[in-house]
Amino acid sequence: MRKTLITCVAGAALLAALPFLLSQGLLNAAIQMLIAALFASAYNLLCGQAGMLSFGHAAYFGVGAFATVHAMNAVGGAGLLPTPLMPLAGALGGLVFGAIAGWFATQRSGTYFAMITLAIAELVHSLAPHLKGVFGGEAGISTMRMPTWGYDFGSTTQVYYLTLAWVLTAMALLYLYTRTPLGRLTLGLRENSHRLKFLGYNVHGLSTLVFAISAMFSGMAGGLQVLSNESANYVVFDPSLSAAAVLNTYIGGVQVFLGPAFGAALMTFFGYAISDLTRSWLLYQGILFVLVMMFLPTGLTGLIAITGRLRERHAPARLMPLFVLAAACAVLAGAGTVFTIELLQRLFSQEYRALMQAGAGGPWPAVALFDRSWQPGSPATWGVPLLLFGAAALLYWRCRQILNALADGEPAPSGPAPAQHSEESA
Amino acid sequence: MEQLLFSLMNGVIYGLLLFMVSAGLTLIFGMMGVLNFAHASFYMLGAYFAYTLQGVAGFWPAVIAAPLLVGLIGVAVERCFLRRVHRHGHAHELLLTFGLSFIIAESIKLFYGNYPVDYRVPAPLDFSAFSIGSTQYPFYRLLMGGIAIAMFIAIYLMLTRTRVGIVVRSAIHRPSMAEALGHNVPLVFMGVFGVGAALAGLAGAVAGAFYTTNPNMALELGVMVFVVVVVGGLGSLAGAMLASLLIGIITSLAVTVDASLADLFALFGAGEWARGIGGLMTLNLSSLAATLPFALMLLVLLVRPGGLLGENG
Amino acid sequence: MSDPILALHGLRKSFGPTDIIRGVDLQVRTGERHALIGPNGAGKSTLFHLVSGQLAPSSGAIRFEGREIGGRTPQAINRRGLARSFQITNIFPRLSTYENVRLAVMRAHGLQYAFWKFIDRDRRIREETGRLLDLVRLAAKAGSVAGEMAYSEQRSLEIAMTLASDPRLILLDEPMAGMSHDETEYTSQLIREISAGRTLMIVEHDMDVVFSLSDRISVLVYGQVIATGTPAEIRAHAGVREAYLGDEATP
């Protein structure tokens, strides 16, 4: 427990020091990462903890965003609240809309619930362009951060600290929530909502409340984004944002409290860093998600638990080769995938088609990739990814061998695996 | 008057199209309990495959081959992906199909570009069937409707009159019992999944030529298909047909109505007041046409949660 | 003679054309241990579902402590003082045993929507949870994952959760299902202890348990109660022998 607390404080300190370590551009990315992390954690409250899979969570993020932008523009531009307190408007918007939507949605469970959330999100998404007064038109609604309490909130650094303060507070609240009666009941909703009824609980009321709280923090995240971007646009209701929440949360892993936040931060960072380098960034994200769902259901943070379990049973000396091989396998497979997709990307792009038409009849023109020129017809070009995948497959096979050997070699466990349930699936 | 009639016909045909895609989805859900998020992606793949093959083989061979290809992909999805995560539960399967739909959409963008492609009705079929008054009615629309009806009859006959159909229906109702009786239920699952996918692919191959073919068509149609199966009742083919037609007609008719809520209030003398409120009050029904299916879905979920023809509660 | 704590009058339940419960009149006296026996398919679980609120009656009355509860929601019925266990273990599988019991206890102390206090700090809840775990002899397993415990331990957990709301009437649905002889002995004793000061209604197939544990027995056959009486009366009842018990060697 103490170790976790020290780690958290250290992490917060590191985050606080970032403005001195990063450029303005990267600091902006850090703000987006924080917001995405909060949104994913809010989403996880509903899907990972309460077991209610929502596919339209962008609606609450968006409602919070617009609530905030209107609050900022109210009173002739002076704002309904002091600038640092603006995310509360987002939280309130998310809470109210979430309560209404949740009341409807939680009347059903499972797949029906998922579809209702999707329909609600699509309803808002299709309605928004028509309600220009509320959502602005295609240009959206813009606003300005007003100076308050001696700060002018003009610089990225100030916005960063504001965002950081809110996100840390919200994450702390979300964590403390898991230690409250409602927080434990949330897990009960996931595990067996049927039994809860027979224990005297109003399951519909509970589900609605949990939904509303999740929507509240989502709205807060939306408000933070408006503060940072100084604008809100109905594009925020796009299904891709809801999709991003789902992908980030599960790639990160729902078993660990900070899993979704980690997944969101990682994916946002990669999106920021790589989307300039490739047009297929979303494809990579989708592939990663599917791979995680198929082979690593507990997400990337689940790797921590897996390696922890392995370390308990085996000496580090025997495990090191396994970890090295596994890492190498992942890198090689990743490289092979990237190479193939980037090659295909270029082969099928408009520019290449134009080139082909220009040189019609002759051999296919070369493709520029990774600062080298590759001939589509030559076997060397296709040999590279084949080699990479082949090597990855070999390493994968070897890893499986080692895992099997470890499993066979160890003595049968004397009791159940020690339950790490004091900080369990929060 | 002819506008009303045409709208009605358009609505029916769009509804039949919706049915072609949602029939497979509702069957798969009824059988496997899996809501296949990627189902509308099969629709999109059908359109793109037909477009690609059309240049090589001509329209009709393309329209026949494309669904077959999509069916094969459907079988592969079931065999290689869904079966592997089956043990993790329905939520997991749902998420996986969600990821697959994402990948399919992004792959389409990779190969074909993030803009519509020029998949058009071939010239021999691009004529008007008849005209009422001064408006023409395209033959191709009737063709789409005809294909959908033919497909519905074929499925209905197959499910009710053939031996394969009986096995499929029993696997839908009681998979373990059907397996205990010696039927290869995993094969049936794979088959139904593949046929469902092929149907969606056929719809895409045929409709993609008429409507636009772009990487977003899966999402646009996909949400509508979900609305259909919820309104009609998950697992009910008749419900899917009813809901598809209902949604098709409502959407189509609404587009022609240029009145708004304020106009309704005007009937009671409160028009000025309503117009003063603005916002939702002054929105024309024609602009809202796209949102009506969602409103219908929410209404059904509240009043009759099992769907119009599904089980209640 | 005080009023019965549970009274069923002309209770009927049909699913479409199929009648499952076909006119049941039954009375459970306050403080007694009342067993419900009968062949498979007689409708015993359906009767429990009707009383506990999972199903609504097609017609007829269900009165608990004089008030009509037929058709009410399960949570409303539970709050009135009636709790049930389930034939197929119905716990929170991935949470710890302690957590399972605590969730059941919280409601009884009014902690439902509370998101402003910490549950670990609540001494009452801690003590009550500990007391229940001791009662069912699961204190040593408090930290174990509930779904990974042995079957009989899960059944004990099931009973603990049913007790948590301090109900005046407990319905136990085949608590001994699938147990060995020793486990049955043990659970039988446990049931005796927990039903002190409460009324118990139990569905069971193990006739030794039924006859040793219960004050009165009702026999449900084909949706109707064909006999109610003390164990001795039931054993001697000709109709019951014909329908269910058979002619076993007299003990």
Which residues in A have their CB inside 8 Å of a CB on B?
Answer: 51, 53, 55, 104, 107-108, 110-112, 114-116, 118-120, 122-123, 126-127, 130-131, 133-134, 239, 243, 246-247, 250, 280, 282-283, 285-287, 289-290, 293-294, 297, 341, 344-345, 348-350
Please tell me whether residues A141 and A247 are part of one structural domain. yes
The answer to the question of residue B237 being in a domain is: no
Rounded to whole angstroms, the Cα distance separating A85 from A223 reads 10
Q: Is the pLDDT of residue A413 over 70?
A: no
C86 assigned to some structural domain? no
* Cα(C161)–Cα(C103) distance, integer angstroms: 8
Task: Assess if residue A50 is contained within a domain.
Answer: yes
Give the number of beta-carbon pairs within 8 Å between A and C. 108
Point out the domain boundary residue: C118, C147, C166: C166
Residue B264 lies in a domain: no
In this structure, is residue A82 part of a structural domain?
Answer: yes
Domain that holds residue B179: 2-217
**Residues of chain B with C-beta less than 8 angstroms from the C-beta of A115:** 35, 226, 230, 297
What pLDDT score was predicted for residue C2? 66
CATH number at residue C44: 3.40.50.300
Within-domain flag for B19:
yes
Question: Worst-scoring range by mean pLDDT, A315-319, B92-96, C27-31?
Answer: A315-319
Q: Which two tokens stand for residue B62?
A: 């393309």
Residue that finishes a domain, picked among C121, C136, C166: C166
Res. A422 pLDDT band, cuts 50 70 90: very low
pLDDT in tens, chain B (313 residues): 677 888 888 899 889 988 989 888 888 887 777 788 889 999 999 999 999 998 888 888 888 999 999 999 999 998 899 888 888 877 888 889 989 998 999 999 988 888 888 888 887 777 777 777 677 788 888 888 888 888 888 888 887 888 777 777 777 777 777 778 877 778 888 888 898 899 999 999 998 888 888 888 888 888 888 888 888 887 778 888 899 999 999 888 888 777 777 777 777 777 777 777 666 677 777 777 878 888 888 888 777 777 777 654 3
Q: Over the stretch A22-73, which tens digit does the pLDDT of each residue have?
A: 888 889 999 999 999 999 999 999 999 999 999 999 999 999 999 999 998 8
Tokens 């789409």 belong to B144
Q: Which of C141, C166, C191 is the last residue of a domain?
A: C166
Residue of B161, B279, B301 lying closest to B229 (CA atoms): B301
CATH number at residue A182: 1.10.3470
Domain match, A321 and A261 both: no
Based on the structure, what is the number of domains in chain A? 2
One domain for residues A269 and A340: no
Task: Give me the residues of B, 75-94, that contact A with CB < 8 A.
Answer: 81, 84-85, 88, 90-92, 94
Which residues in A lie closer than 8 A to residue B107 (C-beta atoms)? 283
Rounded to a whole number, what is the distance in Å from the CA of B310 to chain A's nearest CA?
A: 13
**Are A194 and A136 within one domain?**
yes
User: Which long-range contacts (C-beta less than 8 Å, at least 24 apart) are formed by C106-110?
Assistant: C106/A181, C106/A184, C106/A185, C107/A199, C107/A200, C107/A201, C107/C78, C107/C164, C107/C165, C108/A200, C108/C164, C108/C165, C108/C166
Nearest CA in chain B to A53: B91
Residue C53 counted as domain residue: yes
> Using a CB-CB distance cutoff of 8 angstroms, which residues of chain A are in contact with residue C96?
419, 421, 424
Q: Is residue C64 part of a domain?
A: yes
Taking CB atoms and an 8 Å limit, are B305 and A112 in contact across chains?
yes
Q: Do C75 and A201 touch (CB under 8 A)?
A: yes
pLDDT digits (tens, 9 = 90+) for C68-124: 999 999 999 999 999 999 988 899 999 999 999 999 999 988 888 888 888 888 899
B64 at interface of A, judged by CB pairs closer than 8 A: no
pLDDT of residue A363: 67
Query: How far is the alpha carbon of A211 from chain B, nearest alpha carbon, in Å?
Result: 17
The answer to whether residue B270 is domain-embedded is no
Question: Do the beta carbons of residue A218 and residue A236 sit within 8 Å?
Answer: no
One domain, residues C177 and C76: yes
Please report whether residue C114 resides in a domain: yes
Record the tokens describing residue C219, joined without a space: 């026999």
Answer yes or no: do B297 and A108 touch at CB < 8 A.
no
Final residue belonging to a domain, choices A286, A305, A338: A286
Beta-carbon separation of C91 and A179 below 8 A: no
Indicate the pLDDT class of residue A410, thresholds 50, 70 and 90. low
Smallest CA–CA separation between A136 and chain B, in Å? Answer: 12
Counting CB pairs under 8 A, whether chains C and B reach 3 or more, is: no
Instruction: Report C:18-37 residues touching A (Cβ under 8 A).
Output: none
User: A372 in a domain, yes or no?
Assistant: yes
Q: Is A296 within the bounds of a domain? A: no
* Burial (CB count within 10 angstroms: exposed 0-12, middle 13-18, buried 19+), residue A370: exposed
Q: Would you say the pTM of this structure is higher than 0.95?
A: no
Give the gap in angstroms from C-alpha A155 to the nearest C-alpha of chain B: 36
pLDDT at position A223 is 95
The minimal CB distance from B295 to the residues A123, A250, A294 is found for: A123
- Tokens 């970890």 sit on residue: A323
Same domain flag for C109 and C203: no
CA-nearest residue of chain B to A282? B106
Say yes or no to pLDDT of C14 above 60.
Answer: yes
CB-based contact B287 A118, cutoff 8 Å: no
Residue with tokens 């807060």, as numbered in its chain = A220
- Residue A417 clears pLDDT 50, i.e. is over it: no
B139 at interface of A, judged by CB pairs closer than 8 A:
no
Is A415 an interface residue toward C (CB < 8 Å)? no
Query: Quick one: tokens of C92?
Result: 């929170």
Would you say residue A301 lies in a domain?
no
Question: Distances from the Cα of C75 to the Cαs of A79, A201, B248, C165, in angstroms?
Answer: 45, 6, 42, 11
Question: Nearest residue of C to residue A191 by CA position?
Answer: C92
Domain assignment of residue A224, given as a range: 2-286
C80 and A CB contact within 8 Å: no
Contacts of range A333-337, beta carbons closer than 8 Å, 24 or more positions apart = A333/A388, A333/A389, A333/A392, A333/A396, A335/A388, A336/A385, A336/A388, A336/A389, A336/A392, A337/A284, A337/A287
- Specify whether C98 is located in the same domain as C116: yes
**Integer Cα distance of C101 and C154 in angstroms:** 11
Candidates A71, A66, A15; CA nearest to A219 is A66
What is the total count of domains within chain C? 2
CB contact under 8 A, A297 and B103: no
**Nearest Cβ partner of A131 from B279, B297, B298?**
B279
Searching chain C, which residue's CA lies closest to the CA of residue A174? C115
A83 & A164 share domain: yes
**To which residue do tokens 């379990």 refer?**
A309
Domain count across chain B: 1
Residue A416 within any structural domain of the chain? no
Contacts of A203 in chain C (CB under 8 A): 75
Q: Nearest by CB to B99, from A116, A289, A297: name it.
A: A289
What SS3 state is found at C68? strand
Q: How far is CA A329 from CA A253, A321, A389, A390, A407, in A?
A: 21, 12, 9, 10, 21
| ipTM of the prediction | 0.91
Note the Cα B280 to chain centre separation in Å: 29
In a domain, A304, yes or no: no
Contact C84, C52 (CB under 8 A): yes
Query: C148–A183: do the CB atoms touch at under 8 Å?
Result: no
Res B153: pLDDT: 87
Residues C174 and C218 placed together within one structural domain of the fold: yes
Strands C33-37 and C18-28: unpaired
Task: Judge whether C69 and C5 are in contact, CB under 8 Å.
Answer: no
Q: Do A190 and A271 belong to one domain?
A: yes
Q: Domain for residue B81, yes or no?
A: yes
Structural domain boundaries, residue C50: 1-81+167-251
The answer to whether residue A291 is domain-embedded is no
CB contact under 8 A, C165 and A419: no
| Arithmetic mean of pLDDT over chain A | 86
Domain assignment of residue B113, yes or no:
yes
- Non-local (6+) Cβ contacts of A251 within 8 A are A263, A266, A267, A285, A288, A289, A292, A299, A300
Contact flag A192-C118 (C-beta cutoff 8 Å): no
